[in-house]
Chains A and B, each alone.
Chain A
Amino acid sequence: MATKLLELKGVSMAFGGLKCVDDLDLHVDEGEIVSAIGPNGAGKTTLFNLVTGVYEPTAGEILFEGESIKGLSPHRITQRGIARTFQTLRLFLNMSVRENVMAAAYGHTKAGVLRSILRTPGMRREEREIRELAEKRLAFFGDRLMGYRWDQPAYSLSYANRRRLEIARATATNPRLLLLDEPAAGMNPKETQEITELISQLRDEGGYTILVIEHDMHVVEGISDRVIALDHGVKIAEGTFEEVATNPRVVEAYLGTGAMERK
């Protein structure tokens, strides 16, 4: 019996009169990889913002591991076990690669001001562990972010490497649920292939449950246990990739009315 790790019940998000998300029900089971698809403006990133606490829903419930996370501040939600990447990268550009990842370990470490000043053995041990954690997470990506790279500033990384770094950083928060916002955006076919494999690896080796927003259907097809399609803030289809891709409402949302008929 799969446990529902994340659950949204009747969630709505309205900005003034505009409803970005309308009465949304969705769930992600533990160990699943779920993809959220939909045309631009469908409410996908808003969904991520709601789950991570950037926005507070105007209606509905959001449950993580059975407990409500509605109204919690984002860092608390992250500490509970949800981490994300961003559609437009948001790295700490002037910090080194390693530091970017180390910074994300803050939420599950505890050396305070006094212990930091006095450099207690506990604090020093924790620093070592943070460092090792960061290097381990970066090692996940093979050689690309290893060795001399650790000390390079993040702004010196190529685009694809930046995306990888952002994922590594998110995993350093020791999450149970990973939210990846368009991880393959702007990548060439080879890199896209790598990302597809990587996401599966993240679940298989890392044990993370993953919710992905993606536009590239090859990626979606390659990774998803389940697909959810959104349009104008409403869920219009849910099921396997095959089911959703051929769903008339989904086709209409992407290609307009009459697309099905022309076929």
Chain B
Amino acid sequence: MDYDKLFQTIVNAATLGSTYALIALGYTIVYGILKLLNFAHGDVFMVGAYVGLGVLTVFGGAIDPSISIWLVLCLMVLAAMAACAVLGVVIERFAYRPLRDAPRIAPLISALGVSFFLSYSVQLLFGANHRTYDTFNMAGGKLYEPALTIGSFSISWLRVIGIVSAVLLMLALWFLVDRTRTGKAMRATSIDRDAAAMMGIDIDRVIMFAFVLSGALAGAAGVLFALRTDLFPTMGFTPGLFAFTAAVIGGIGSIPGAMLGGFLLGTVEALTVTYVTDWIGIPVGLSNLVIFSLLIVFMLVRPQGILGRPDIKKV
């Protein structure tokens, strides 16, 4: 038993899972209320990463920032969250709200248009070349040093920060949705919009709140993700797709479902990359094929997801 590999896989799973969960929450919150698959969400995530880059540049870059790098990192996350929250609200207001009573396909197409617009706009402004936060040079490489060591296994600061931040955000979200009035209003609206409206809930504000939450989470995820990889205009596509899948597996519309689905998918991906490819003998690139085939089977067996409720239609 290669414990090293196992441990690495677990850490991978947690890291990937936390990112997917954050993004998945955004999909699920919006779907729960609007029954809309927000295809533009992955690109909001990407914008968050670029906002983080902008903030980093303003403060002088990774190697020699004008203020403490830890402060810069916090500002990057906060700025990305704020910017993406605003972006989410703007998108809702102008691309989705006018289509609230249109046939179901209309807002979906609109979302595709927004996605297109966002990713190509970023390419226009920042070029298609890959950029990075230059994380390796931050604080003299501190982020890659082990933060926790258990026996012969260690986790780097980078990963710890990533996972902890994500978990904190999820807790904050849970609190907002479960304990506040607006959160309750959100849940009511997602069950029955018309009834909620008749109970005096301001639907427009609730929806706006949902997009603020989903945008903020995506923005944070964007920065956390970009700390570990490159930035490029279409970077939102694959994580967006995976996170979206995670939301669906967990039960789209269900918040605990999104978190569960996120970590589940992160685990599946980590396992597939490390182990399955060796077992079946297919190249890593084809692991996508395995994952998506399994997902299709899953959708056929249980389309409402693990924690979702099946739709009952009244005739």
Contacts and interface: CB of A to CB of B under 8 A. Distances in A.
Report if A and B touch in the complex (beta carbons < 8 A). Answer: yes
A148 B245 CA distance: 52
A16 to B, nearest CB: 9
B312 A54 contact: no
B315 A49 contact: yes
B312 A15 contact: yes
Chain B: interface residue count, which band?
Answer: under 10
A45 B315 CA distance: 9
Contacts, number: 4
Interface string A168-192: 0000000000000000000000000
B64 to A, nearest CB: 64
A147 B312 CA distance: 42
B219 to A, nearest CB: 41
B174 to A, nearest CB: 28
Contacts of B312: 15
Contacts of A49: 315
Interface in A39-59: 45, 49, 54
Contacts of A54: 315
Interface string A184-224: 00000000000000000000000000000000000000000
A50 to B, nearest CB: 11
Nearest to B312: A15
A49 B315 CA distance: 8
A63 to B, nearest CB: 22
Interface string A1-34: 0000000000000010000000000000000000
B36 to A, nearest CB: 24
Interface string B64-83: 00000000000000000000
Contacts of B315: 45, 49, 54
Nearest to A55: B315
Interface string B117-161: 000000000000000000000000000000000000000000000
Interface in B301-315: 312, 315
Contacts of A15: 312
Nearest to A15: B312
A15 B312 CA distance: 10
B304 to A, nearest CB: 15
A15 B315 CA distance: 14
A200 to B, nearest CB: 28
A54 B312 CA distance: 12
Nearest to B313: A54
B313 to A, nearest CB: 9
Contacts of A45: 315
B315 to A, nearest CB: 6
Interface string A226-239: 00000000000000
B312 to A, nearest CB: 7
B100 to A, nearest CB: 20
A47 to B, nearest CB: 12
B101 to A, nearest CB: 16
A55 to B, nearest CB: 8
Nearest to A52: B315
Interface string B279-299: 000000000000000000000
Interface in B213-237: none
A108 B76 CA distance: 67
4 contacts: A15-B312, A45-B315, A49-B315, A54-B315
The 3 closest A-B pairs by CB, nearest first: A54-B315, A49-B315, A15-B312
